[in-house]
Amino acid sequence: MNEMIEVRIVPPPSNKGRGVFAKKNIKKNTLVEVGHVLLISNEDYDKLADTVIWNYIFEWDDPKYNGDNQAAIPLSVGQFVNHSYDPNLRYEYDYENVTIEYYTERYIAKGEELTVNYNGIVDDKSPVWFEVED
């Protein structure tokens, strides 16, 4: 069980569903979660495009796969981290260990929701594939 974070329903008026929240105050640059990754073949990725699973898939650009297995699902609490254009987390790929690591971008107070920019870069304001709540 993770001592720093937990999954809870995001309270109204949000329609986000579940989110990840700090169980205690967390310092900047703290590793809060490691998601072990299930790699997805390009063929399987195409099959998942019309399923709910597609919303939980990350791009996986590990050069050793030469274009195969370009997607992944981290099997962790990280799956429930919601998107924000002003995130308090960043995620980093660890290709050697086939994991995604989530680090705090700033101090996070107990009870605060943890968010990442789904574009993969903290300050990337490019549109995502869904309507973003403010």
Q: What is the pLDDT of residue 119?
A: 67
Tens of pLDDT along the chain (134 residues)? Answer: 689 999 999 988 888 889 999 999 999 999 999 999 999 888 888 898 889 888 888 888 888 877 676 789 889 998 899 888 899 999 999 999 999 999 999 999 999 999 988 766 666 666 655 566 65
Q: What is the pLDDT of residue 66?
A: 72
Q: Which two tokens stand for residue 21?
A: 């929240």
Q: Which two tokens stand for residue 132?
A: 């973003």
Contacts of 75 (CB under 8 A, 6+ apart): 35, 36, 37, 38
Tell me which residue of 116, 89, 93 sits closest to 35, measured CA to CA: 93
Q: What is the pLDDT of residue 123?
A: 67
Domain ranges of the chain: 5-39+74-116
What is 5-39+74-116's CATH superfamily? SET domain (2.170.270.10)
Q: What is the pLDDT of residue 22?
A: 98
Q: What is the pLDDT of residue 57?
A: 86
Contacts of 34 (CB under 8 A, 6+ apart): 76, 99, 100, 101, 102
Q: What is the pLDDT of residue 134?
A: 56
